[in-house]
Structure 1
């Protein structure tokens, strides 16, 4: 009886796509030297009602390297994620994930565990300004060639390169970087999932076209123009804004009924409560004081935009709304002023409702009258009933606010251009991120999204989780390319990390930010939420090369690999790779048990049992079967002998028929 062996590599998306096409067009399935393939000439003909004779012009975005980007997205890898317990907080219980590594490779590894499970993705990728880094992806060359070409020679094998505007493939390099990442990210979104992408004018147009192709033009959700600066140092038109582009995975599953809470409401309520304490029920005095109060704010402030809410009565703050009818003369009747008992001035278009309706509103004190009958009455629209509005396509945010908040955590500025917490939290609320939804940011930077999730959960009693991914960019390399204020900021980051005795890369800033933000929010709110996070680090596979290519080794060579697991790899390492291979989320609760003297990992109750100890035998199998695990995995050489392997498989089949057993 053979025991199934785990793949221990990311899914081969090419093979999956071939199988899907074969189901629809079986006649287009053919064979090649590498196995199954699609006859594209036949497929093109199947998708056309005219005879296909050759390539034709079509509407689509093309650039040098696009085919390479498609291949890059589909190519499987054998890498893994290794847990870093010493950097984590409450590793065994937390459901938040922080991953250090190249986001393209990480996205590949997450394909099965998080397929259709992410509610919202937000990313702030390199804007391609000519001075920032882009990724140079090339999986066809060995590590030494790649290190040499990319100019990176650190232990992380980074593939970050500067993409100057003078480069012949300036836009193409950036598009080739973004395409496979967005393609893989789409797979992770739930059907009603949403993606937001920050960008500036350099690649705004290209990003829209790429997203139209990947997500579908019909799934475009709109874009936010974010005014965040007041620069006046550019030629022609001074650009003082950035964009946040939005796409949904499927508009049929997400109808876009998105609302966001108006900003500044608490300040307004507090101010008018103060006026009432001074003036009592002298509502005219309260109104005059309110008008003065609003004048202190600039027009760009959300509080100022609500200045029409300057009236107040015993039911709250309101503004007198138009009460005229939609059609001229539809409802014409007399209304009497409650104090003078004279007929009030009627709106020129007539009233907006029948007489009995307006009499009811008057009886409920929902109509605003002037001092006498010479003014037109208005409907009272209370601020409490209009706290939410549709997401606006124009947002005013001072770009310095986010930096100020981050500086308050660290005591000094250690990161340039962090993301705005309030803006992102409002977006999360507006699109319906709640309960136990997952938010993903694979250009994590300073880990703003981690703080946003803590803030959201503490304020709304949700249990949302985050997955943050960031390449461990060497800050010393960044320092060499930085100028002006940015150079000073990077230098401060390096100084801080040296004081903390941490590696001098951007991931350490992100992790420290999460720890400090968690403490701050817990101290301020006392909310009982998950403040922890598990750290994983991208690395080469735990398995020896012989595991993937045994046919390349002779029997003499195989003797050198008596253990197909690389030396130095722990049970924690193996468990993480098994969870990814089996498509289990990395956030599942992990417990350590002892069964018949063996260390056993129990993941999410009985979802997975893993034992990587040696000497697995029939007695152990009998004890294990009592818990009826859904899945169980052992090392291939962990059994007492070959007979024990067969017997354990047979015993589990008899005593726990639902258990799926595999080996590595």
Structure 2
């Protein structure tokens, strides 16, 4: 009997895409293969008139497309408990590793789950590092030998302007990351990308290619500096850009910016209108519409026409409706030019943002550096962080109170800080996933001397310190509350840390017929199934990476009433790593209430008892199907 196996691969992107295509164009997919001629006909392309077409291309684009579809073999995410904060309760995640590799590992469980992505990638100034994406080798040694990684195994190299593929190298780095990022976004999701003049044109073109030109929202100009650098020969650049795209702009809603007290103060109620405060707006508008030019008589008897070249904003019938509803204002003495009353209660609460963001509103680079320096006891450990206020504005515009936020070039973790800060201010429950490669700090830098040997160490410490600062501020404010005032809640300031690592599972223990290769089992049972230095927790997380819709933040508990090596993940997935399965153990598992939706066992734990394995599979599978319904095909029993 063929039993379901935990798949070795994490993604099968090509197969997933073919299935999606079959849903849209069934006639274009036959026996699992794409009929490209039929697909072209479905798209209305019945004849190729001219092979030339408008498109963005560069040296290496085809390879970049392949990189986006390749899986990451024999790799996993290792849980680092000692670096985590409040791991039992937090829903926040920090991942150390190359972001393309990490994005691919996140894809099965976070497909269509991320509401907002913000990234601040290398700007390609000639001194920035870009990533080498070579994940098909078993370890780092061959990469180091070939020079594609540095001596510490970091997959980075400088992209010098002298190279003849200067822009192409950057595009090849960005393209596959954006492809996977798009798949992680919710249908109403949005991505923001910081960039400067070096690659802004190419970034917009590549986003048009990946996300679709119609999904472009805006190119925001952020005033990152306000003092000129007089050493500049021509112009002193004072701005960066933030490119904004939607996953599907038809589904996207902008929350708008919160109304300021200053804006609300413009409203008053001089006539004691029961509908509350209001402000008057001009009743005339240009250019003139002839039918809307008519005489209005004020309460004082004065006859009024709209100014020359203008007409009234309302037609005559609509004007009298407004007049009857007391929505026309003629001034305190009833003799003024008529104006429309706009009530604060009826005004859109979210202010539509403009595309130029001044430093007074969202901060600037110098302030961001100063704020981070204060957080680290007046030590400058990171250069050019983004202001918290800038990221908070992005969150205010397009995130909901419970949104999941991703930053896969997280740097000093400004995005995580901004998420926690906004949650503290509006009582939200946003969650974050930060991803950062462990790029070394300069050995002569203050950060290295202080013990922060890579950027990840700075980012994690920043989250810890920022969280504690937020907690202290809330507790101090709660201590000053007056009778009857509600205390503020401390948001989730914890995070679970993961690090990319080689697999813990020996996947290839089966012969060509699919039978267990007992000749490989020359060691203890654990070393026959798993790699040297593994832990049970590492194996459980690796198995969970191959499931669907199971967040890394889910709970993990040991079911000590069952056995010492049986684990329940997310209150739904049971992973049993016992070296020997018995009928008594299966009886305990079958009696669990509530029943898990999936059971995972070690193949080797059944020894040669095929009958017990068969009975275990049938019994538990039947129980699962009875509880969850036959339609849920993924809920089953699997083996590793």
TM-score tier by shorter-chain length is 0.7 to 0.9
> TM-score, with normalisation over the residues of structure 2?
0.82
Distance 2:187 2:293 in 1: 46
Match of 1:492 among 430, 446, 454: 446
Q: Which SS does the other structure have where 1:445 is aligned?
A: coil
Distance 2:449 2:409 in 1: 23
| Cα pair distance change 1:455/1:346, threshold 3 Å | farther
1:538 offset after TM fit, Å?
Answer: 0.7
1:333 offset after TM fit, Å?
Answer: 2.5
Question: What's the counterpart of residue 331 of structure 2?
Answer: 369
1:255-266 to 2 correspondences below 5 Å? 256-262=253-259, 265-266=260-261
Distance 1:615 1:642 in 2: 10
Question: What's the counterpart of residue 636 of structure 2?
Answer: 660
**Number of corresponding residues:** 589
Question: What's the counterpart of residue 224 of structure 2?
Answer: 228
Does the aligned pair in 1 maintain the 2:279–2:343 contact within 8 Å?
A: yes
Query: What per-residue deviation string (whole Å, max 9, x for no partner) do you get for residues 587-618 of structure 1?
Result: 2233332133334322233x211222323211
Query: What per-residue deviation string (whole Å, max 9, x for no partner) do you get for residues 14-54 of structure 1?
Result: 34345556785778879xxxxx876878877887745569x
| Cα pair distance change 1:555/1:37, threshold 3 Å | farther
Moved more, 124-133 or 433-442: 433-442
Question: What's the counterpart of residue 10 of structure 2?
Answer: 10
Question: What's the counterpart of residue 645 of structure 1?
Answer: 613
* Structure 2 residue 46 is matched with structure 1 residue 65: no
1:646 offset after TM fit, Å?
Answer: 3.2
1:446 offset after TM fit, Å?
Answer: 1.2
Question: What's the counterpart of residue 249 of structure 1?
Answer: 247
Query: What per-residue deviation string (whole Å, max 9, x for no partner) do you get for residues 375-406 of structure 1?
Result: 64655657784653212122112332322332
Question: What's the counterpart of residue 444 of structure 1?
Answer: 410
| Cα pair distance change 1:141/1:107, threshold 3 Å | same
Does the aligned pair in 1 maintain the 2:438–2:455 contact within 8 Å?
A: yes
Distance 1:88 1:548 in 2: 37
Structure 2 unaligned spans of 5+: 475-487, 627-634
Question: What's the counterpart of residue 460 of structure 2?
Answer: 511
Does the aligned pair in 1 maintain the 2:267–2:344 contact within 8 Å?
A: no
Question: What's the counterpart of residue 586 of structure 2?
Answer: 621
* Structure 2 residue 68 is matched with structure 1 residue 100: no
Q: Which SS does the other structure have where 1:591 is aligned?
A: strand
Distance 2:624 2:47 in 1: 57
Question: What's the counterpart of residue 502 of structure 2?
Answer: 540
1:69-468 to 2 correspondences below 5 Å? 69-78=64-73, 79-140=75-136, 143-150=140-147, 152-155=149-152, 157-230=153-226, 231-232=228-229, 233-254=231-252, 256-262=253-259, 265-266=260-261, 309=266, 321-324=281-284, 327=289, 330-336=293-299, 343=302, 348=307, 352=313, 354=319, 357-358=322-323, 360-361=325-326, 367=329, 369=331, 376=337, 378-379=339-340, 385=347, 388-397=350-359, 398-412=364-378, 413-431=380-398, 433-468=399-434
1:356 offset after TM fit, Å?
Answer: 6.4
Distance 2:311 2:614 in 1: 89
Distance 1:334 1:43 in 2: 67
| Cα pair distance change 1:581/1:170, threshold 3 Å | same
Does the aligned pair in 2 maintain the 1:96–1:587 contact within 8 Å?
A: yes
Question: What's the counterpart of residue 530 of structure 1?
Answer: 492
Structure 1 unaligned spans of 5+: 31-35, 273-308, 480-490
Does the aligned pair in 1 maintain the 2:407–2:433 contact within 8 Å?
A: yes
| Cα pair distance change 1:47/1:345, threshold 3 Å | closer
Does the aligned pair in 2 maintain the 1:617–1:645 contact within 8 Å?
A: no
Does the aligned pair in 1 maintain the 2:27–2:38 contact within 8 Å?
A: no
1:576 offset after TM fit, Å?
Answer: 1.0
Match of 2:543 among 578, 597, 612: 578
Q: Which SS does the other structure have where 1:595 is aligned?
A: coil
Query: What per-residue deviation string (whole Å, max 9, x for no partner) do you get for residues 441-500 of structure 1?
Result: 1111111121222223223333221111111111137x6xxxxxxxxxxx232233x2xx
1:542-561 to 2 correspondences below 5 Å? 542-544=504-506, 546=508, 559=522
| Cα pair distance change 1:59/1:549, threshold 3 Å | farther
For the aligned residues, what is the CA RMSD? 3.6
| Cα pair distance change 1:29/1:334, threshold 3 Å | closer
Distance 1:582 1:547 in 2: 21
| Cα pair distance change 1:310/1:512, threshold 3 Å | same
> TM-score, with normalisation over the residues of structure 1?
0.79
Query: What per-residue deviation string (whole Å, max 9, x for no partner) do you get for residues 402-443 of structure 1?
Result: 223323322333222222322322222222x22432111111
Distance 2:582 2:91 in 1: 34
1:253 offset after TM fit, Å?
Answer: 2.5
Q: Which SS does the other structure have where 2:604 is aligned?
A: coil
| Cα pair distance change 1:548/1:371, threshold 3 Å | farther
